[in-house]
Amino acid sequence: MTHIYSPQRLFIILILLANNIFVSAQSIPFEENRLIDRLSESNNWADSILSTLSDDERIAQLFMVAAYSNKGTKESEKISNLVNKYQIGGIIFFQGEPGKQAELTNWYQSLAKVPLWIGMDAEIGLGARLKQTISYPRQIMLGAIQDDDLIFQLGKQIGIECQRLGVHVNFSPVMDVNNNPHNPVINSRSFGEDRYNVTNKSYAFASGMEKSGIIAVGKHFPGHGDTATDSHFELPLVDHSIERLDSIELFPFRYVINNGLAGIMVSHLNVPALDSLQKVATLSKPIVTHLLKEEMGFKGLIFTDALNMRGIRKFYKKGVVDAKALVAGNDVLLFTENVPIAVKEIKLALKSGELSWDQINEKCLKILKAKYWLNLNEYKPIDRNKLWSGLNTQQGFILRRELTEKAITLVKNDERLLPLKRLDTLRIASVAMGVSIRNRFQEYMGRYTDIDFFQIEKNASIESYSQLLKKLSGYNLVIVSKHDSDLRAAKKFGITNQTIEFLSELSKNQKVIFDLFANPYGLDLYEGTDRLKGILVSYEDNIETQMASAQIIFGGLASQGRLPVTVNERFPVGTGFETKHNRLGFSIPEQVGLNTLKLNVIDSIVHDAIKKKATPGCQILIARKGKVVFHKSYGHRTYEGKVEVRNPDIYDLASLTKIVATLPALMQLSDEGWINVDHSLGEYFSKAKGSNKDTLILRKILAHEARLLSYKPFQWEAVDSSSFDKDLFSRTFSKRYSLKVADKLYLDRNYKFKEGIFSHENSEEYPIQVANELFIHKGYHDTIINQILTSELRKSNGYKYSDLGFIMMGEMVKEISGESLDNYVKRHLYNMLGASSLGYNPLKRFNVDRIVPTQNDKFFRKQWIKAYVHDPTAAMLGGVSGHAGVFGNAGDLAKLGQMYLQEGTYGGETYISVETMNRFTSRAYPNSENRRGIGFDKPYYNPDEKGGPACEEASDLSFGHTGFTGTMIWVDPKYDLLYIFLSNRICPDEANTKLIDMDVRTKIQSQIYKSLIEEEKTDSEFITMPFSPFRKGMFY
* CA distances to 37, 661, 959 from 922, in Å: 62, 19, 8
**CA-wise closest residue to 883 among 828, 935, 848, 934:** 935
pLDDT of residue 229: 78
pLDDT band at 599 (very low <50, low <70, confident <90, very high): very high
When mean pLDDT is compared across 279-283, 514-518, 543-547, 803-807, the lowest value belongs to 279-283
pTM above 0.85, yes or no: yes
Strand order in the sheet with 729-730: 729-730, 745-747, 739-742
For residues 651 and 944, the model is more confident at: 651
Domain 602-718+753-1010: CATH class, spelled out: alpha beta
Taking only the tens place, the pLDDT of each residue in 483-492 is 998 888 888 8
pLDDT of residue 64: 98
Amino acid at 853: P
**Quick one: three-class SS letters along 923-958?**
ECCCCCCCCCECCCECCCCCCCCCCCCCCCCCCCCC
Taking only the tens place, the pLDDT of each residue in 619-660 is 999 999 999 999 999 999 999 989 999 999 999 999 999 999
Taking only the tens place, the pLDDT of each residue in 50-76 is 999 999 999 999 999 999 999 989 999
pLDDT of residue 765: 95
Interatomic CA distance for residues 1016 and 1010, integer angstroms: 17
- Does residue 956 register a pLDDT over 80? yes
Mean pLDDT of 688-713: 96
**What would the DSSP string read from start to end of 867-895?**
SS-SSHHHHHTTT--SSS-EEE-HHHHHH
pLDDT band at 310 (very low <50, low <70, confident <90, very high): confident
pLDDT of residue 20: 42
User: In terms of residues, how long is the chain?
Assistant: 1036
CB 1029 within 8 A of CB 196: yes
Taking only the tens place, the pLDDT of each residue in 915-938 is 999 999 999 999 898 999 999 999
Tell me the backbone φ, ψ of residue 456, rounded to 5 degrees.
Answer: -140, 125
Q: 599 CB contacts (<8 Å, ≥6 apart)?
A: 589, 622, 629, 630, 1007, 1008, 1011
Where does 408-583 sit in CATH, by number?
3.40.50.1700
- Does residue 27 register a pLDDT over 60? no
Tell me the backbone φ, ψ of residue 469, rounded to 5 degrees.
Answer: -55, -40
When mean pLDDT is compared across 32-41, 169-178, 445-454, 471-480, the lowest value belongs to 32-41
pLDDT of residue 795: 92
Tell me the backbone φ, ψ of residue 368, rounded to 5 degrees.
Answer: -65, -40
- Does residue 180 register a pLDDT over 90? no
pLDDT band at 12 (very low <50, low <70, confident <90, very high): very low
> β-strand 839-840 against 886-888: which pairing, if any?
antiparallel
CB 737 within 8 A of CB 749: yes
Interatomic CA distance for residues 176 and 250, integer angstroms: 9
Mean pLDDT of 248-265: 96
Q: What percent of the chain has pLDDT over 90?
A: 82
Handedness of CA 375, 376, 380, 384 (dihedral sign): positive
pLDDT band at 749 (very low <50, low <70, confident <90, very high): confident
* CA distances to 654, 662, 849, 860 from 843, in Å: 16, 21, 10, 20
- In CATH, the architecture of 7-391 is Alpha-Beta Barrel (3.20)
Residue ranges per structural domain of the chain: 7-391, 408-583, 602-718+753-1010
pLDDT band at 18 (very low <50, low <70, confident <90, very high): very low
Interatomic CA distance for residues 90 and 108, integer angstroms: 10
Interatomic CA distance for residues 376 and 391, integer angstroms: 21
pLDDT of residue 318: 84
pLDDT band at 1034 (very low <50, low <70, confident <90, very high): very low
**CA-wise closest residue to 27 among 204, 240, 172:** 204
> β-strand 905-906 against 856-857: which pairing, if any?
unpaired
Q: Which helix (H) or strand (E) holds 244?
A: helix 242-247
Q: At what angle do helices 1000-1010 and 601-611 cross, to 10 degrees?
A: 170
- Does residue 9 register a pLDDT over 60? no
Interatomic CA distance for residues 704 and 932, integer angstroms: 8
- Does residue 8 register a pLDDT over 90? no
Interatomic CA distance for residues 146 and 197, integer angstroms: 9
Mean pLDDT of 448-463: 94
Tell me the backbone φ, ψ of residue 426, rounded to 5 degrees.
Answer: -110, 135
Mean pLDDT of 237-244: 92
- Does residue 735 register a pLDDT over 90? no
